[in-house]
Chain A
């Protein structure tokens, strides 16, 4: 059982569509991060959210941290082919010093 479950696991959409990726856990996290990974490269940090209920926007990407700090979502508006990649949530569990990555969501945006 993974501590951070992401859904959906795979997503293929047409350019211009909107999408939401979810990251859920039964544990409380002191902070959550979202990374994007392209083939053959390591993940790159997109955003960090630290406060329950926090919403951060990065151009067409909107990130939300759940009020109870157990879940997060990533919403992409008007997806573009350049958004294609593996999206990973990750975070520090509140009760210790363990850092966990989510199961990943593979996004393909078709031109």
Chain B
């Protein structure tokens, strides 16, 4: 497709289970971002991939969170041993170049609910 896609769109899981969230960025975009958004709030930065450089993981809230980007394209955000406070919408974005004023294109998000 032409835009950023994310799957699943909704995920309901039980506390303590692991979840994987997938992001397919726009082809050719070198930068990929993951954010977390609580209802009606701003975006909380989680992790940033730029080309083949080591990712910026400074926003990950705990060691239960990890992310990979395979082949410079698809990314997976993994949350281990989910907690209720992990419930949020997880947004992925990609841009052509990471620095400066380049536009980030967002996917529709994955709504995660931890029961």
Contacts and interface: CB of A to CB of B under 8 A. Distances in A.
A92 B99 contact: yes
Dominant secondary structure of chain B at its interface with chain A: loop
B25 interface: no
Nearest to B40: A106
B99 A103 contact: no
Interface size class of A (residues with CB under 8 A): 20 to 34
Contacts of B13: none
Dominant secondary structure of chain A at its interface with chain B: strand
B74 interface: no
Interface in A15-59: 30-31, 33, 40-45, 48, 50
Interface string B32-55: 010100001111110010000000
Interface of A: 2, 6, 30-31, 33, 40-45, 48, 50, 86, 88, 90, 92, 97-104, 106
